[in-house]
């Protein structure tokens, strides 16, 4: 039997600085989902990477006194190290400077041009380098970018346009037929309304600088950085053996870049005759002590700082327990530590250490695990399939509470009841497997002590008759 495939992507990040908690959030979410689908038996392809071209990077490189290539080369290891530190297991790290990507971008541009969807003209208007996006007069706030609040450059240059306006109807039809394409649901209507208002053709080339992919039909122009970047999701599947993964099951992104992904991206694909992704899921933004994460105000927390607070698993856990996945959340070191102490150390850590301690000293005896019947497995599966990660975690922790109460009520340290101990050890196995996508390091430690494999099917199988080792402290209280 051929395994079902699951193709998941993160945005490709601008390598103009080291990654921070916002970038980490999307990437961990993709890691959680890909781990989940892997243990569910799917053939997973998890893609992440960097968006190396464009004016923003060219300027940052200039400031650093380096060529854009040298500059980005120096930052890529920082991203890779950060993802390693966070225990993120991606399948490919793509850069828009990768040769295979550049080739595919040119191929698709040529195809789109041959089809008559690209024409030459002149762009006159506003451009925010921070967003790498075009704005009209009415979008601006006091002459500034509505997102960055900075002065915005006025452009007037020869450019090629993509006939975006032509795809208005096709897009609206597509959204209607595919109600889950724009997710979560509450973000859908705003996009539809804006598309209904009408679409302007999109300027897709620049001539005033050269850090980008040349248009194949006019080498004087380089491709607009967003178009170049969006194609990465497709170009990564043109590699030998990777074709089977297209179309994407889920593009995970932040809400700030939903317009690019839900309007430009499908329009580019329809024009090129390529089938469309299943879903673009936009999560919310993290604020920092209720303020927008911003370098200029010092409100930014990078990956090293994040992990230093309470370790990698506590960071991963906090990010997905604290906020509703899809909505904005506030980052607070204090709450991260509270959750580490109260939930990971007191609830999960104590359960595992008490039970494995007793199971090491006393024997366990196989029996029907009635305790496990209280685990809402079907619901958890459904929640994760709907990308409701925080709710899934809530249900897993509800079951941890049930197990802790069971220990309190049954007092196995007095009774030495071998069957009760079996039920508890077997339930911990289920908990560890379900938590593995979220906190893999901890789950793997538990699996080693009790002696089982992290596989979904193992949840329902009785634990092997191993010698159980008492647990080291999983979470030291802070």
In the complex, least distance from residue 20 CB atom to ligand MSP, rounded to whole angstroms: 7
Selected catalytic residue, list 56, 145, 221, 251: 145
Q: How many CA atoms lie within 13 A of 133 on its CB side?
A: 17
CB of 25 or CB of 126, closer to ligand MSP: 25
Q: How far apart are the first and last CA of the chain?
A: 48
In the complex, least distance from residue 342 CB atom to ligand MSP, rounded to whole angstroms: 25
Selected catalytic residue, list 56, 101, 128, 403: 128
Q: How far is CA 176 from CA 169, 183, 246, 262, in A?
A: 11, 13, 22, 13
In the complex, least distance from residue 19 CB atom to ligand MSP, rounded to whole angstroms: 8
In the complex, least distance from residue 253 CB atom to ligand MSP, rounded to whole angstroms: 5
Residue 20 among the catalytic residues: yes
Residue 292 among the catalytic residues: yes
Task: Compute the distance between CA of residue 373 and CA of residue 423 in angstroms, rounded to an integer.
Answer: 10
Task: Compute the distance between CA of residue 457 and CA of residue 53 in angstroms, rounded to an integer.
Answer: 44
CB of 13 or CB of 161, closer to ligand MSP: 13
CB of 268 or CB of 406, closer to ligand MSP: 268
In the complex, least distance from residue 255 CB atom to ligand MSP, rounded to whole angstroms: 8
CB of 14 or CB of 452, closer to ligand MSP: 14
Decide if 263 contacts 196 (C-beta within 8 A).
no
Residue 325 φ/ψ, nearest 5 degrees: -70, 115
Task: Compute the distance between CA of residue 190 and CA of residue 175 in angstroms, rounded to an integer.
Answer: 12
Residues 6+ apart with CB under 8 A from 148: 128, 130, 131
Selected catalytic residue, list 295, 334, 378, 467: 295
Selected catalytic residue, list 84, 185, 292, 373: 292
Residue 334 among the catalytic residues: no
CB of 230 or CB of 358, closer to ligand MSP: 230
DSSP category for residue 299 = B
Selected catalytic residue, list 53, 56, 101, 131: 131
Residue 131 among the catalytic residues: yes
16-18-22 Cα angle (round to 5)? 100
Decide if 271 contacts 167 (C-beta within 8 A).
yes
Residue 220 among the catalytic residues: no
CB of 48 or CB of 443, closer to ligand MSP: 48
Q: Locate 312 and state its tokens.
A: 């990698």
In the complex, least distance from residue 263 CB atom to ligand MSP, rounded to whole angstroms: 13
Task: Compute the distance between CA of residue 53 and CA of residue 433 in angstroms, rounded to an integer.
Answer: 40
Q: Locate 255 and state its tokens.
A: 């809400």
Residue 223 among the catalytic residues: no
CB of 258 or CB of 400, closer to ligand MSP: 258
Residue 128 among the catalytic residues: yes
In the complex, least distance from residue 47 CB atom to ligand MSP, rounded to whole angstroms: 11
Residue 145 among the catalytic residues: yes
Task: Compute the distance between CA of residue 295 and CA of residue 35 in angstroms, rounded to an integer.
Answer: 32
User: How big is the chain by its Cα radius of gyration, in Å?
Assistant: 25
Binding residues for ligand MSP (CB under 6 A): 11-14, 22-23, 25-26, 51, 229-230, 253-254, 256-257, 285-286, 293
Catalytic residues, by residue number, are 20, 23, 128, 131, 145, 148, 292, 295
């Amino acid at each position: 039997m051929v395994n079902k495939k699951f193709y998941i992507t993160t945005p490709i990040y601008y390598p103009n600085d080291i990654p921070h908690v916002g970038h980490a959030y999307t990437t961990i979410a993709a890691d959680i989902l890909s781990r989940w689908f892997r243990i569910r038996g799917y053939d997973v392809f998890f893609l992440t990477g960097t968006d190396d071209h464009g004016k923003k990077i060219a300027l940052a490189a200039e400031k650093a006194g380096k060529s854009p290539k040298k500059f980005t080369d120096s930052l890529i290891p920082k991203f890779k190290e950060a993802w390693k530190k966070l225990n993120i297991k991606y399948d490919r790290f793509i850069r828009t400077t990768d040769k295979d990507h550049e080739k595919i971008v040119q191929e698709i541009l040529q195809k789109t041009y041959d089809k008559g969807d690209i024409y030459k003209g002149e762009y006159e208007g506003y451009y925010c380098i921070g967003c790498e996006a075009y704005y009209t007069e009415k979008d601006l706030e006091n002459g500034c970018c509505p997102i960055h609040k900075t002065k915005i450059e006025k452009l007037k240059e020869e450019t090629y346009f993509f006939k975006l306006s032509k795809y208005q109807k096709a897009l609206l039809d597509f959204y209607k037929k595919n109600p889950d394409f724009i997710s979560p649901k509450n973000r859908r209507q705003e996009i539809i309304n804006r598309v209904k208002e009408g679409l302007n053709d999109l300027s897709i080339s620049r001539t005033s600088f050269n850090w980008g992919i040349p248009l194949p039909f006019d080498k004087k122009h380089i491709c607009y950085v967003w178009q170049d970047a969006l194609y990465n999701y497709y170009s990564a599947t043109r590699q030998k053996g990777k074709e089977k993964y297209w179309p994407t099951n889920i593009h995970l992104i932040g809400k700030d870049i939903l317009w690019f992904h839900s309007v430009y991206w499908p329009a580019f694909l329809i024009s090129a005759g390529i089938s469309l992704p299943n879903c673009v899921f936009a999560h919310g933004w993290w604020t920092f002590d209720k303020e927008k994460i911003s370098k200029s105000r010092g409100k930014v927390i990078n990956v090293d700082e994040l992990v230093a607070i309470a370790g990698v698993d506590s960071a991963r856990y906090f990010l997905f327990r604290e906020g509703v996945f899809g909505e904005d959340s506030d980052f607070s070191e204090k709450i991260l530590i509270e959750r580490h102490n109260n939930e990971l150390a007191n609830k999960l850590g104590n359960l595992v250490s008490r039970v494995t301690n007793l199971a090491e000293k006393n024997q366990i005896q196989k029996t029907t695990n009635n305790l496990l019947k209280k685990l809402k497995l079907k619901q958890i599966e459904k929640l994760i399939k709907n990308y409701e990660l925080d709710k899934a975690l809530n249900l897993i922790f509800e079951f941890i509470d049930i197990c802790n109460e069971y220990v309190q009520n049954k007092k196995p340290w007095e009774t030495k009841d071998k069957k009760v101990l079996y039920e508890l050890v077997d339930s911990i196995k289920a908990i560890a497997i379900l938590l593995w996508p979220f906190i893999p390091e901890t789950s793997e430690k538990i699996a080693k002590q009790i002696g089982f494999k992290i596989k979904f099917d193992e949840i329902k199988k009785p634990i092997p008759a191993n010698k159980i080792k008492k647990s080291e402290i999983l979470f030291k209280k802070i």
